[in-house]
A and B are shown apart, each in its own frame.
Chain A
Amino acid sequence: MKIKSHTVQVHDKVLVMSSQNAEFDESFAELVAENHVQLRSFVRMLGVDPEWVDDLAQEAFLVALRERDSFDERQDVGKWLRGIARNLVRTEIRKGARRQRIQHAVLADMLLRSSETDDECPEWSLMRLSHLRDCVEQLPPKSRQIVSGRYADGWKATDLAAHLAMKADAVRQALVRIRQQLKTCIERRMTESI
């Protein structure tokens, strides 16, 4: 099921946008707090290199800060931010050989086009990190160890495999399976919390 959840779940508070200047004031801080988790993941979903995801998402917020006067408050803020992020990725792809922040131009272009065609985010992807936390912390110890090694310590599958006496492929398979389990867990928790 897909819903326009930004208006329903993310922006349950009315954003009061100060229109005088581009100061990083309380209302903008609130906008960032409400949207940064989703926007950063969205940027990754456009094929941006993981090392550059936060940099590019910050750039999108800076553009939003400069352009906030032109933002129509009736519009969905998440949609507006995603539009800005798409423009930045599009520019990145156009840089050709000078590009450095995307992993693979054709893949990024495809993900970009797919996102343009279908901008409505799946409900589960609008989760707060607390939903993820609850699911992650309930993983069996071995799975938790793999997730922690990969994402907290930044180990690649070959390093983790050596440490856990597994094969690298088995670690990668486990990670694919764990991500699927987490998605299911989050969907279930979001349904329960409605």
Chain B
Amino acid sequence: MAFQSRFDELLALLLDDVATVVELDELVAIITEDAVKLNQLKDHLVLSDRLSQYEDTRRDALRYVESLKTRARAESASDRFVEAVINSSHSKTGRQAAQPGRPLSSRVWVWIGLAVAASLLIAIASWPEARRDDEDSPTIAASTDPAREDATDSGVAVLTRVVNVVGANTSTWHEGSTLIPQTLAWDKGVLQLEFYSGATVVAEGPASLEIVDPSHIICHFGKLRANIPEPAQGFTILSSTMEVVDLGTEFGMEISSDGSINVQVFEGKIELYETNSERNLATRQELSEGKALAISADGLSKSIDSQSLNFISPNQLSTLTSEASQRHLENWLEQRSVTLADPRVIAYFPFDRQATDDRSLVGYAAGGKELTGAIVGAQWAEGRWPGKSSLEFKRPGDRVRISIPGSYASLTFATWIRLDGLDRRFNSLLLTDKFEVNNPHWQIHQEGHLILGVPDPGVVATHNYRSPQVFQLQDIGNWVQIVTVYDAADQQVRHYLNGKLISSEAFQPTAQGELVLGDATIGNWSPPKGALPSKIRNFNGRMDELTVYGVALSGAQILELFRLGRP
């Protein structure tokens, strides 16, 4: 079939990115004479770009905005650095005057200089060249996404332990969260922070810590213990009275809100300078292993008995964490037995690693009958608690093949996952092989929506029942419970996150009949022949427990599942 006109043909070639210069010359000649065709060309250019923005994961809004922020930061940092150098050269001492409340030593300026250089390099390297490296192709591992990581990682530390923490703004603090520079304040409980520099800080509330960068924190008050390995040497803690510079060691500090400090060195040695002295050698004190010092708010110091101080040790923290985890694990084991005996369950995968056959995912059908899945590629990893296993899905081929018989008017899908990224436009949780009438596809959209897609009997296209955007970058690395209910009685699809209802949507008018799972895949899609080979939908993260109920669970039942399964 020929094109309707030469203009249509040339337009098609242009938007296929294959038009030659001669063909473009010809196109220009046509639109010069015809304003209608010029407008048609403009419409197609706009629409073609919109389709690309919608479809091409390399161009998604999040990535675009983060990349823009990186460029803006690089420009801004560059401007500030140049300004600082100019100011410095005009200063009698050759040093930049300290900013109020945040004295900056020459070492910090060196760090800033390096950071600027690094961010400029990142900006230059990541845009736009990185886009070309960042092929969303089946041959590249799901986690290979340098442009995105470089552009978006403004974190400086990871929160690795949160034990019995109480405080006004602590509800969103989760283990595994990445922290950007900010102030953390809490009343009670213990945090462990692992800084990108390599330093580990365990802090006990009540405390107020201001994270400045990977090597600097300001402690307004609180009790902390820092372990500084060699690569992190020079890690600095500022208080209103003293600046403590680590020389490769382990030490504890207790800072009162009046500015007085107790400090003890467990290993190695530290340097102390008066705050705002710009590390003037006249104010320098050195404290070596086994020694402890009490410094009053006005800077007077005296040696004290190190036995009198009591800083939480990593072992004590581990014990605290283990005790909390153990309690949760025991709760879950009880729940596991209940689920196995639950007649409503049509498929239950507790994700227990089998010692004798670790390439099978043992599951249970109704009545406790075994329903085993075949693990392809995915690797066993730690689950929600130490001693509990999960499966880690990383590569485009990773998946678990299962088969769930029967057809059901209502279904409830429930799982615990730890997202490590949303690499694909659609990231599979559980997808039926076929995607025909009443085959449900349960997945997470790249923009962070939870989706249940069901092709209706009455229409050609699928309807995606989608939640609002609930997954964001900061959720990466945290265990979450997600549940979706297809409720024939109420004619609704409901999505839940961590036991809470996040959306409910009425069935499409054309929806009818029972849902069928049959051959299906956890964490990926195994489509029948004929689909485009590059339609990868691999999940990037860990999964620990997946249950499918042949009925619609209520909100209260889902909340109970969350309580008994939370890490």
Contacts and interface: CB of A to CB of B under 8 A. Distances in A.
Contacts of B1: 169-170, 173
B535 interface: yes
Interface string B170-199: 000000000000000000000000000000
A45 B42 contact: yes
Interface in B179-224: none
Nearest to A111: B42
Contacts of A23: 76
B12 A176 contact: yes
A29 B71 contact: no
A32 B51 CA distance: 19
Contacts of B43: 122, 125, 179, 183
Nearest to B128: A55
Nearest to A103: B24
A140 B72 contact: no
Interface string B461-472: 110100000000
B103 to A, nearest CB: 22
Contacts of B3: 169, 173
Dominant SS among interface residues on chain B:
helix
A33 B65 contact: yes
Contacts of A151: 48, 51-52, 54-56
Interface residues of B, number: 64
B385 interface: no
Given A33-B65, A44-B48, A55-B128, A106 B28 contact: yes
A45 B45 CA distance: 5
A147 B55 contact: yes
B51 A136 contact: yes
B256 to A, nearest CB: 35
Contacts of B46: 41-42, 44-45, 125
A163 B48 contact: no
Contacts of A152: 55-57, 136, 425
A153 interface: yes
A138 B462 CA distance: 7
A44 to B, nearest CB: 4
B494 to A, nearest CB: 21
Interface stretch (A6-14, A57-65, A83-91): A57-65
A17 interface: no
28 contacts: A29-B65, A37-B53, A45-B42, A47-B45, A50-B17, A50-B48, A50-B52, A54-B64, A54-B128, A58-B64, A62-B68, A62-B71, A62-B72, A62-B75, A104-B25, A106-B24, A114-B38, A132-B50, A136-B54, A136-B55, A144-B461, A150-B16, A151-B48, A151-B54, A156-B17, A173-B1, A176-B12, A179-B48
Given A32-B68, A145-B532, A163-B533, 8 more contacts: A22-B76, A58-B67, A104-B28, A114-B38, A147-B55, A153-B532, A157-B18, A176-B44
